Structure 1
Amino acid sequence: MSNGSDERMAVTAAVASLVAALTLAPLIKGSTWLFAAAIMVLAVMVTGIVGRQLARGWWPAVVGLQAVVLFLAIVVLFARGEIADPPGAVRMLSDLLDTGLQITQSQSPPVDATRGIVLLAAGGTGLVALAVDILATSFRQPALAGLPLLAMYCVPAALLDDGLPWYLFLIAAAGFLLLLSADAGDRVRAWGRVLASAGQRPARAGGDTGLARGGRRVGLAAVALAVAIPSFVPGLDNQLLGGSGDGSDGSGGTVITRINPILDMRRDLNDPVDTELLAYTTTVDNPDPLRIVTDDEYDGKTWKPSGKKIPRANNISKGLPTAPGLTAAVKTSSETSQIQIYRLRETYLPLPYPARTVTGLDGEWLYDPDTLNVIGNKVDTTQANYGVEFTEVTPTADQLANAGTAPEGIVKQYTQLPDDMPAEIERTARNVAGNGSAYEKAVRLQEWFRTGGGFVYNTKAPETKNGDGSAQAIVEFLKAREGYCVHYASTMAVMARQLGIPARVAVGFLPGSVQTQNTRIISSRDAHAWPELYFAGVGWVRFEPTPRSGQAAPDWTLPNTGTNSDTPDSQTSTTTAPDTSEGDASSTAEAEATQEQQEAAGTSSDGGFSVPWQPVVLLLVVLLGLAAPRTASVVAGRRRWRQAVTASGLATAAWDDLRLGLSDLGVRWAASWTPRAVRQRLNDDYQLAPEQSAALDRLVDELENALYAPPTDEPGRAAADRRHDVALIVGAVAVQKSGRTRWTARLWPGSGLTALAGLTPWITSRFRRGSSSSGPDEDGTAGRKPREKAGSTRS
């Protein structure tokens, strides 16, 4: 197929790919990833349009060019700092992919739009767009192009516990139907005009015929049934299209709840169905909360576990190391637990802290020696049943109050905060904490949240844009003084870091409800987060700032705090700001240099992804500039043939196509020449073959009949036949031109440049026509329609 069908299919394939990418929205926070994905799709589309003109439809060359441009676009977006070093760029992209894959294995959706995640989403969308373009445009198999679109749709459908919303299915299906419709239209146009019954006006090829309307109705009905049937057929899994997620549909479905390690627990706490997740027995009478993961990094938006790689040598089958910072001076006891998972799927393993040995698990489970997080390597907790030996740590208030200075490495790592933290958070922290040891300050913070500050526990507190653990959420939480455990834990941990106390946030479950002696059931509403602060000689210590009913603070956090534990409004801080030493100055300079390096490498200071607009815009301008003339020529040609209805119009459209096609090849003739004179010149100058000369004879005869014969409503020959004759003649002339002339005609046709130039008066006329609707024109007429000139057929 020709005359714009390739360009039309390329655009349609790009739209279908981008529409299918919208189904990834529930997996990733924000919309930055979608901009990056759109850039990838546009790069594939424009490169395909240009490449097909360069390679004259030879698909291996087109695919190769598209793959190269797609890779360059990925490098520009994600590794432009290494663009001069291709191996370095490949290594950087590989590291980002590994990081993104680790996040997908360790965190539940929606996840932050980090560079690794955006690379996975945008790069995957680009590859899908490439596959769709190859199948739909190069091979003309749009039905097969639905397979990569389906693969993209299946990713969120498989990862989301409640499935995709039905409207996202409709969006994805609409893109696929659009692809099929565009190809069907091209196939109908190839047959020419649709024959009409007596008395009916002939329809344009591919027009809105009864057949086309019927096809659309069938497609829409099929999509509607695909959405509706799973809701009415008993036992049919509705998960791919979204469901209630409560497991109470009577079909025997099993609910699997997944706690998000980055503190997005609002959904679990507000779930109307309190799902039982696990049961455990323990030798401890009053057990501490069961921890899933420790989040030790904070970027101003959320707490999350560090993304460092864990060596496979850290297998829990060999036992876990001693808890960091714990010494023999602290009272400990050896305890055990047996944990049975019911409906919890998580790559992090729920464990009491600190665990020493874990038995009974299948698969490979690795531990992080700094946090003792245990994460599965391609395994999760579904239906797991395992035993744990752990250490029950019971420090005293005196040990914490008399703790020495924490190691420098611990302080440096666990007091890091973004530079743009709101000043009111630190001001409030210092006002509440007052003077004294780190322990005294921590106790005052905890008591202020629990009793002295007027805070209220509320799982339905207003949400913020960047998440409940973000800096903005903390500011709003301190003003409203209501929230749930994520607000309390995140705020206290951030305040502790601002006071120089190493802090992190743990995520897990409260001890649950007692069933029998030492046997407990944990449900989804037991999800909980709490801060952990580091004290020399003791290690990481749990605090409980959340004023939740029935949740007591640990004994070691309840000494006699004396005065200075009221609200910040009744306190005056006497703490002086720390001096800035040379070491601090050098650290600041190093941080600034690191930030500059991150910005040069294409990442924002908070570890997220930012689109490098300048090189992206430049790349798109270049690609669009290459495709614009050819596209404009094709669009103008389609418009010309679409408007041709009568025999006269068809003859004129064919002659205009011939004139413009030959002018792109440098063939010119005088405007005074008659059609017969043009025929004589072409036959003399280019020695047309009999078949080509016959095609030219037909075009000349039809044009003369259109000019001089009585008008008729009969269209005569089909448009496809006339366009075939034009292609024969233009092709015969093209082979006698130089290669440079032919390439110029394909990439930068003069007819396309003329069409682009004609947009300016067209836009101006539209603007003036719109302005005339509310008043007279400059010549005093009130929206008077100018008399149209008759279309000229002089060449």
Structure 2
Amino acid sequence: MTNGSDERMAVTAACASLVAALTLAPLIQGVTWLFAAAIMVLTVMVSGIVGRQLARGWWPAVIGLQAVLLFLAVVVLFARGQIANPPGAVSMLTDLLSAGLDVTQSQSPPVESARGIVLLAAGGTGVVALAVDVLATSFRQPALAGLPLLAMYCVPAALLDDGLPWYLFLVAAAGFLLLLSADAGDRVRAWGRVLASAGERSSRTAGDTALARGGRRVAAAAVVTAVAVPALIPGLDSQLLGGGDGDGGSGGTVITRINPILDMRRDLNDPVDTDLLKYTTTVAEPAPLRIVTDDEYDGKTWKPSENEFQRANNIENGLPSAPGLTSAVQTEAATSDIEIYQLRENYLPLPYPAQQISGLNGEWLYDPETLNVLGRNVTTTKANYTVEFAEVTPTAQQLADAGAPPDDIVEKYTALPDDMPAVIEKTARQVAGTGTEYEQAVRLQDWFRVSGRFTYNTQAPASKNGDGSAQAIVDFLDSKEGYCVHYASTMAVMARQLGIPARVAVGFLPGSVQTEDTRIISSRDAHAWPELYFQGVGWVRFEPTPRSGQAAPDWTVPPSTGNDGQTDDSTTTTTEPETEENGASASSEAEVPDEQAAAADAQSSGGFSLPWQPFVLLLVVLLALATPRAAASVATRRRWRTARGAPGLAAAAWDDLRLGLSDLGVRWAASWTPRAVRQRLNDDYRLTTEQSAALDRLVEELEEAFYAPPSDDPGRPAADRRQDVALVVSAVAVQKSARTRRRARLWPASGITALSGAAASITARFRKGSSSTIEKNGPGEQQPRQKADSGAH
């Protein structure tokens, strides 16, 4: 289809895509993402219009141009600093996409308009708009174009616990119906005008109106059915239209979940630092809050042992004493009130060792060996509870004097796979040296924190087997760069190879202080640390991770004296980590390097702003390219729409021929009669028999319209006349240069004329201050009987 139908479908496809994008509104805060999405849709639409003019409808070239310009739009919006460096731009966009995907997995809607999220929303909308435009405009398959629109709709429908509101379904459906309606209109118009007498016109118009009303009724019935049937038929409620239950019956929404299997790289690198929980405690300097203890190691990862949680071990009855802890160790009763904001875990975050837990809903069971607390068919979502626990403060002397642990403890907590790389044990023995198990453990911790010159880095290369795997440990010992998982896992494995029972705990650093006794824990406070067993004390926390802001526990830093009897601090770990060569020093393990912090700041809701200037310039250029063609198409449609009877149709066809040939540079003098034009075209362009016959019909119909008596018979349908015009124009076009043809498609003179005429008309109306002077005789409504001999048609 031609004569503006492509442009009309392109605009309709863009509208449908943008309307469908509105269904993403419940997922994202603010409207920044919507402006970015609108820019993507406009880029696809305008580049498609321009591409079809340049490529004459050759769809591979059109799609290629649209894809390239869409990518450039994404780069300008989200990676403009790398616009001259394509690999860097791709890398930056990949990182942003990864960050955005992490947010979708860790936060519940509505999320902040971070750069990664806006990229996902706007870029996804652009891809959907491209697919819709290709299917609906290039391939003329608007029904298939509903698939990408449906895909966009399904995203929020799947992510929202209660599904999408019904009115958003109607919004999405309206966009799809708009596509079908536009295509159906083009197809009906392609059939041509129905021949009818004057007396039949009114009935024909009434029939058309009835047909339109029937179509609207069918569409409305289909939409109502789609909304009502899933709600009425059991088993069809898939939350696409809302009404579903929340996750796990909690009635709440998940924001972040920490993986107890030590997959914390994503949480520490999350550009959006999400508040997870608040707690108030009676402890002045609280220890990290533990989620779970991982006590089994298979060479690839640490994980909690698969102990069977007995229903008799319900926390309502209180928790047992900490394994191995005796009354000789100083303890002090403490309390913490914990309020979960946006965290879902099967394991309950607790200080260690917990003694009594109250205020929880559901069934929570404990493991007596690890004191892990696991929910049975319930999670921590929106939990609010109080924990009574013991603040344990052993002394370095008690740990140094600890006797041999029980055989069952040694057997279970020193177990390692047989194929562990030998370099790990070799390094452990070199670093730990000889002496008591406590002395060896302290040397390991000191080596990681200070003397080994390790660097904390959450961006250290990831191992394909996991950051806690044996190969990751080997790489970590070689590069001396990693984050808490590397440190905790490596020290625990080394301790086991030295015969010291060890395990890894996963949880959170104490968080940021809000008031004297209240702290907020966020996603970047995720932490892992090793726990070693000492007889009479039980499980003791060590802190090998440098730059954690969490000073090594007092019991792991034995003071030593030099020859002068003064305290020698050379072997102790300072509370404030030394500044690295790059000048960066962190106050908590959750901190990332400066460049990451800057990136994180840019990810915040206030850090992303649309670069309007380059996009305004780009869209102005594209619209400037598309405007003449669009103006010509609008003028053509208006000409045919306003044509009345045989004279009007004949004049409209002759105007189409004149303007189409003028776009190709064909000289057309105002004094030439229709027969003179026919003669010159036949002589200059050697028309074929078929082409000449088409020209003859146009001339004869024009002369008949001028000189024959008035008649109600409109003659041939408009579609046949337009086909004759296209045949003659095409015959002339193939004999012109490629440059001339491109200019005619991209920058048609008739479009410039139409724009000039519109501007002049607007100016005249403005000057006269009245709309009563609108020019009545446009090109399609000239008075043919008065101008028949002028040849100005």
Shift of 1:11: 1.0
> Which of these residues, 303, 317, 327, is aligned with residue 303 of structure 2?
317
1:229 aligns with 2:241: no
User: For residue 475 of structure 1, what is the aligned residue in structure 2?
Assistant: none
Query: Contact conserved, 1:604 with 1:610, CA < 8 A, in 2?
Result: no
Please give the alpha-carbon distance, in whole angstroms, between the structure 2 residues aligned to 1:32 and 1:329.
57
1:178 aligns with 2:162: no
Shift of 1:594: 7.7
Shift of 1:212: 2.3
Query: What is the DSSP-based 3-state SS (H/G/I as helix, E as strand, rest coil) of the residue aligned with 2:151?
Result: helix
TM-score by length of 1: 0.59
Query: Contact conserved, 2:17 with 2:125, CA < 8 A, in 1?
Result: yes
Please give the alpha-carbon distance, in whole angstroms, between the structure 2 residues aligned to 1:144 and 1:206.
32
Query: Contact conserved, 2:765 with 2:774, CA < 8 A, in 1?
Result: no
Please give the alpha-carbon distance, in whole angstroms, between the structure 2 residues aligned to 1:179 and 1:651.
32
1:615 aligns with 2:620: no
> Which of these residues, 236, 248, 257, is aligned with residue 251 of structure 2?
257
1:38 aligns with 2:32: no
Shift of 1:538: 7.2
User: For residue 742 of structure 1, what is the aligned residue in structure 2?
Assistant: 741
Q: Cα–Cα, structure 1 residues 766 and 203, in superposed 2: closer, same or farther, change >3 Å? A: farther
Query: What is the DSSP-based 3-state SS (H/G/I as helix, E as strand, rest coil) of the residue aligned with 1:505?
Result: strand
Please give the alpha-carbon distance, in whole angstroms, between the structure 2 residues aligned to 1:746 and 1:313.
66
User: For residue 349 of structure 2, what is the aligned residue in structure 1?
Assistant: 352
Please give the alpha-carbon distance, in whole angstroms, between the structure 1 residues aligned to 2:351 and 2:520.
15
Please tell me the residue identity of whatever aligns with 2:672: W
Shift of 1:315: 4.6
Q: Cα–Cα, structure 1 residues 356 and 739, in superposed 2: closer, same or farther, change >3 Å? A: farther
User: For residue 148 of structure 2, what is the aligned residue in structure 1?
Assistant: 148
Query: What is the DSSP-based 3-state SS (H/G/I as helix, E as strand, rest coil) of the residue aligned with 2:700?
Result: helix
Please give the alpha-carbon distance, in whole angstroms, between the structure 1 residues aligned to 2:673 and 2:376.
83
Structure 1: unaligned runs, 5 residues or longer: 248-252, 264-291, 306-311, 320-327, 336-343, 358-373, 375-379, 397-406, 414-491, 508-532, 540-582, 774-782
Please give the alpha-carbon distance, in whole angstroms, between the structure 2 residues aligned to 1:58 and 1:587.
56
Matches within 5 A, 1:49-60: 49-60=49-60
Query: Contact conserved, 1:345 with 1:381, CA < 8 A, in 2?
Result: no
Please tell me the residue identity of whatever aligns with 2:656: D
Structure 2: unaligned runs, 5 residues or longer: 258-263, 278-297, 306-327, 336-340, 355-371, 381-386, 394-448, 451-455, 457-510, 524-547, 555-579, 586-590, 785-791
Shift of 1:236: 4.0
Query: Contact conserved, 1:295 with 1:303, CA < 8 A, in 2?
Result: no
User: For residue 169 of structure 1, what is the aligned residue in structure 2?
Assistant: 169
User: For residue 191 of structure 1, what is the aligned residue in structure 2?
Assistant: 191
Query: Contact conserved, 1:294 with 1:506, CA < 8 A, in 2?
Result: no
Query: Contact conserved, 2:628 with 2:755, CA < 8 A, in 1?
Result: yes
Please tell me the residue identity of whatever aligns with 2:213: R
Q: Cα–Cα, structure 1 residues 293 and 700, in superposed 2: closer, same or farther, change >3 Å? A: closer
Please tell me the residue identity of whatever aligns with 1:756: L
1:104 aligns with 2:104: yes
Shift of 1:198: 7.8
User: For residue 80 of structure 1, what is the aligned residue in structure 2?
Assistant: 80
Please tell me the residue identity of whatever aligns with 2:520: R
User: For residue 639 of structure 1, what is the aligned residue in structure 2?
Assistant: 638
Larger Rg computed on CA atoms: 2
Please tell me the residue identity of whatever aligns with 1:618: L
Shift of 1:620: 1.0
Query: Contact conserved, 1:602 with 1:612, CA < 8 A, in 2?
Result: no
Please give the alpha-carbon distance, in whole angstroms, between the structure 2 residues aligned to 1:757 and 1:216.
38
User: For residue 505 of structure 1, what is the aligned residue in structure 2?
Assistant: 521
User: For residue 25 of structure 1, what is the aligned residue in structure 2?
Assistant: 25
Please tell me the residue identity of whatever aligns with 2:52: R
Q: Cα–Cα, structure 1 residues 742 and 391, in superposed 2: closer, same or farther, change >3 Å? A: farther
Shift of 1:711: 2.0
User: For residue 678 of structure 1, what is the aligned residue in structure 2?
Assistant: 677
Please tell me the residue identity of whatever aligns with 1:16: A
User: For residue 687 of structure 1, what is the aligned residue in structure 2?
Assistant: 686
User: For residue 3 of structure 1, what is the aligned residue in structure 2?
Assistant: 3
Query: Contact conserved, 2:13 with 2:179, CA < 8 A, in 1?
Result: yes
Shift of 1:157: 0.6
User: Percent of aligned positions with the same letter in both sequences?
Assistant: 65
Matches within 5 A, 1:507-526: none
Query: What is the DSSP-based 3-state SS (H/G/I as helix, E as strand, rest coil) of the residue aligned with 2:199?
Result: coil
User: For residue 757 of structure 1, what is the aligned residue in structure 2?
Assistant: 756
Please tell me the residue identity of whatever aligns with 2:175: G
Query: What is the DSSP-based 3-state SS (H/G/I as helix, E as strand, rest coil) of the residue aligned with 2:240?
Result: helix
> Which of these residues, 391, 406, 419, is aligned with residue 394 of structure 1?
391
1:729 aligns with 2:723: no
Please give the alpha-carbon distance, in whole angstroms, between the structure 2 residues aligned to 1:711 and 1:786.
24
Please give the alpha-carbon distance, in whole angstroms, between the structure 2 residues aligned to 1:608 and 1:44.
26
Q: Cα–Cα, structure 1 residues 675 and 299, in superposed 2: closer, same or farther, change >3 Å? A: same
Question: Which string of whole-angstrom CA distances, capped at 9 and with x for unpartnered residues, describes residues 296-335 of structure 1?
Answer: 9999997479xxxxxx99955179xxxxxxxx99848999
Shift of 1:754: 1.2
Shift of 1:190: 1.1
Shift of 1:104: 0.8
Deviates more, 1:154-163 or 1:46-55: 46-55
Query: Contact conserved, 2:331 with 2:392, CA < 8 A, in 1?
Result: yes
Query: What is the DSSP-based 3-state SS (H/G/I as helix, E as strand, rest coil) of the residue aligned with 1:504?
Result: strand
User: For residue 712 of structure 2, what is the aligned residue in structure 1?
Assistant: 713
User: For residue 239 of structure 2, what is the aligned residue in structure 1?
Assistant: 239
User: For residue 791 of structure 1, what is the aligned residue in structure 2?
Assistant: 782
User: For residue 94 of structure 2, what is the aligned residue in structure 1?
Assistant: 94
Please give the alpha-carbon distance, in whole angstroms, between the structure 2 residues aligned to 1:208 and 1:614.
47
User: For residue 650 of structure 1, what is the aligned residue in structure 2?
Assistant: 649
Shift of 1:246: 6.1
Query: What is the DSSP-based 3-state SS (H/G/I as helix, E as strand, rest coil) of the residue aligned with 2:39?
Result: helix
Q: Cα–Cα, structure 1 residues 503 and 699, in superposed 2: closer, same or farther, change >3 Å? A: same
Query: What is the DSSP-based 3-state SS (H/G/I as helix, E as strand, rest coil) of the residue aligned with 1:201?
Result: helix
Question: Which string of whole-angstrom CA distances, capped at 9 and with x for unpartnered residues, describes residues 455-502 of structure 1?
Answer: xxxxxxxxxxxxxxxxxxxxxxxxxxxxxxxxxxxxx96866xx9x99
Query: Contact conserved, 2:353 with 2:390, CA < 8 A, in 1?
Result: no
Please give the alpha-carbon distance, in whole angstroms, between the structure 2 residues aligned to 1:193 and 1:76.
47
Please give the alpha-carbon distance, in whole angstroms, between the structure 1 residues aligned to 2:549 and 2:522.
13
Please tell me the residue identity of whatever aligns with 2:609: S
Query: Contact conserved, 2:276 with 2:342, CA < 8 A, in 1?
Result: no
Shift of 1:768: 5.8
Please give the alpha-carbon distance, in whole angstroms, between the structure 1 residues aligned to 2:20 and 2:377.
30
Please give the alpha-carbon distance, in whole angstroms, between the structure 1 residues aligned to 2:376 and 2:681.
78
Shift of 1:726: 0.4
Please tell me the residue identity of whatever aligns with 1:60: P
Shift of 1:261: 3.6
Shift of 1:83: 1.1
User: For residue 16 of structure 1, what is the aligned residue in structure 2?
Assistant: 16
Matches within 5 A, 1:520-559: none
Please give the alpha-carbon distance, in whole angstroms, between the structure 1 residues aligned to 2:50 and 2:304.
59
Please give the alpha-carbon distance, in whole angstroms, between the structure 2 residues aligned to 1:87 and 1:76.
14
Q: Cα–Cα, structure 1 residues 536 and 38, in superposed 2: closer, same or farther, change >3 Å? A: same
Query: Contact conserved, 1:162 with 1:239, CA < 8 A, in 2?
Result: yes
Query: What is the DSSP-based 3-state SS (H/G/I as helix, E as strand, rest coil) of the residue aligned with 1:30?
Result: coil
1:126 aligns with 2:162: no
Task: Please give the root-mean-square deviation of Cα atoms over the aligned residues, in Å.
Answer: 4.7
Please give the alpha-carbon distance, in whole angstroms, between the structure 2 residues aligned to 1:767 and 1:382.
73
Please give the alpha-carbon distance, in whole angstroms, between the structure 2 residues aligned to 1:650 and 1:598.
66
Please tell me the residue identity of whatever aligns with 1:671: A
Question: Which string of whole-angstrom CA distances, capped at 9 and with x for unpartnered residues, describes residues 68-109 of structure 1?
Answer: 111111111111111111111111111111111111111111
Please tell me the residue identity of whatever aligns with 2:136: A
Between the two proteins, the alignment pairs up a number of residues equal to 536
User: For residue 452 of structure 1, what is the aligned residue in structure 2?
Assistant: none
Please give the alpha-carbon distance, in whole angstroms, between the structure 2 residues aligned to 1:146 and 1:699.
41
Matches within 5 A, 1:273-672: 303=275, 315-317=301-303, 331=331, 348-354=345-351, 392=389, 394=391, 504-505=520-521, 603=602, 608-672=607-671
Query: What is the DSSP-based 3-state SS (H/G/I as helix, E as strand, rest coil) of the residue aligned with 1:661?
Result: helix
Please give the alpha-carbon distance, in whole angstroms, between the structure 2 residues aligned to 1:62 and 1:108.
38
Shift of 1:262: 7.8
Please tell me the residue identity of whatever aligns with 2:391: T
Please tell me the residue identity of whatever aligns with 1:156: P
Please give the alpha-carbon distance, in whole angstroms, between the structure 2 residues aligned to 1:136 and 1:330.
75
Query: Contact conserved, 1:646 with 1:715, CA < 8 A, in 2?
Result: yes
User: For residue 279 of structure 1, what is the aligned residue in structure 2?
Assistant: none
Query: Contact conserved, 1:136 with 1:142, CA < 8 A, in 2?
Result: yes
